[in-house]
Amino acid sequence: MIDIEVVCKTKGSGLNGIINGLVQAAGKGIETALENTANYAYRLKNVASGESNQGIKVEIVKVQNAEVGGRVYTDFFHAGFLEFGTGIYMDSESPGHISEKAAAGLPWFVHEDMADLSGYNFPVAETPEGDRYYMIRGTHPHPFMRPAAFAMRDNNIGAVAEAIRELIESVVNG
């Protein structure tokens, strides 16, 4: 019979230090991952809409029972229209998708004071009072949240792994 004794010499707190710091390290990695995903979504959104970065938010939603979770979300009112499109151009994968035939029969009218759409060659309806409305059948989708989530998947895993690696190094090296 062979007896083997393994002695790990560390300057830090050893395995207990890793166990005790794991949730915090994972949380740090998740926060980095969420910020990176939000920044990627910002860039995609700005290309699609020309708007500022407002409306895309990051939130750590759970840090308990050795679990950490978070989300990147948006709360600006027209995000769904930008992400999925509208009318006849609506992304068929979207939760509110209606058939193209139904959408073609549902134009909507935008008053000229609401948006300058004169450069888009939309048909114009004019009321007897002289109000002008652009008739629109839909807008093309410009996804930014879903592509950001998928594109950043590997980077996000790497961010969490890096935070855990830093924890292990700090425990081992003191």
Torsion of CA 11, 15, 17, 20, to 10 degrees: 180
Are 160 and 30 in contact by the 8 Å Cβ rule? The answer is yes
The predicted pLDDT at position 174 comes to 66
The predicted pLDDT at position 92 comes to 67
The predicted pLDDT at position 141 comes to 87
The predicted pLDDT at position 93 comes to 65
Tokens of 32: 């980095």
The predicted pLDDT at position 19 comes to 79
pTM above 0.85? no
Calculate Rg over the CA atoms of the chain.
26
Give the chain's residues under pLDDT 50: none
